[in-house]
């Protein structure tokens, strides 16, 4: 059993982009990687391919599990999970989310669990991604953008993760549109994060090669 939690400094900075790239890199090494995103909002049943679980499923390739298996809790409204769930008459509970993740963790082969939103984004009315991560005691990949201000946001996220005893396995800076130079921004961030590996994920039409990240992780 080996598992990693992919979280981020905020919403829409590239978690799924990084997760899909890492899945492809692990598969290229012959690893039978799995992916799980317990809850997703903004899910359009008419365009599943564009959804986060749809993109994860595509990266997993032939024999991938169903969307229901990858993301069992899917809600239509593009809101935080508890708000989107409430509109559909569902009350999200941290115990249930933890149980869903633990069932996946008990399976065979490397597992990537992707959160919803950023480290401190709410998953339920009472709990955040950080609460779930801390309960699972999994190391994390922290994804950040390269936009102006990202260094402050990333260092803040690192501080709250550290305060809860969470191990950060790597930081991946995903390129933001119209942002300052990706390499220079990552180098500036790296000066503040000690021994935590800081990698860059450029935005290419054919995706990012995450083989270096795959080699660094003990999955």
In this prediction, residue 154 has a pLDDT band, given cuts at 50, 70 and 90, of very high
Mean pLDDT of 113-125: 97
> In the predicted model, is pLDDT for residue 5 greater than 90?
yes
Residue 201 sits at φ, ψ, to 5 deg, of -120, 90
Place of tokens 């950080």: 130
pLDDT at position 206, please? 79
pLDDT at position 205, please? 74
In this prediction, residue 215 has a pLDDT band, given cuts at 50, 70 and 90, of very high
Q: Write down the pTM of the prediction.
A: 0.96
The active-site residue, picked from 15, 34, 37, 153, is: 37
pLDDT at position 207, please? 84
State the average pLDDT for the chain. 96
- The parent domain of residue 76 ranges over 2-216
Mean pLDDT of 44-72: 96
Q: How far is Cα 111 from Cα 2, in angstroms, rounded to an integer?
A: 6
Burial of 70 (0-12, 13-18, 19+ CB in 10 A): buried
37 is catalytic: yes
pLDDT at position 94, please? 98
Domain holding 71: CATH number?
Answer: 3.40.50.300
Give how many domains the chain has, as a whole number. 1
Q: How far is Cα 166 from Cα 25, in angstroms, rounded to an integer?
A: 25
Tell me the percentage of the chain whose pLDDT exceeds 90.
Answer: 93
In this prediction, residue 181 has a pLDDT band, given cuts at 50, 70 and 90, of very high
């Amino acid at each position: 059993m080996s598992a990693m939690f992919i979280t981020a400094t905020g919403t829409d900075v590239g978690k799924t982009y990084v997760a899909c790239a890492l899945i492809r890199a692990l598969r290229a090494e012959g690893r039978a990687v799995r992916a799980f995103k317990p809850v997703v909002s903004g899910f359009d049943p008419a365009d599943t391919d564009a959804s986060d679980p749809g993109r994860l499923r595509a990266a997993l390739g032939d024999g991938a599990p169903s969307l229901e298996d990858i993301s069992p809790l899917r809600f239509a409204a593009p809101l935080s999970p508890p708000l989107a769930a409430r509109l559909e008459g569902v009350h999200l509970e941290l115990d249930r989310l933890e149980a869903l993740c633990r069932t996946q963790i008990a399976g065979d082969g490397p597992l990537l669990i992707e959160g919803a939103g950023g480290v401190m984004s709410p998953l339920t009315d009472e709990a955040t991604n950080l609460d779930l991560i801390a309960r699972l005691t999994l190391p994390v990949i922290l994804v950040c953008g390269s936009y102006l201000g990202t260094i402050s946001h990333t260092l803040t996220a690192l501080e709250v993760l550290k305060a809860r005893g969470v191990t950060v396995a790597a930081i991946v800076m995903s390129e933001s549109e119209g942002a300052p130079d990706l390499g220079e921004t990552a180098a500036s961030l790296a000066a503040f994060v000690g021994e935590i590996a800081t990698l860059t994920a450029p935005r290419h039409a054919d995706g990012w090669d995450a083989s270096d990240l795959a080699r660094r992780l003990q999955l």
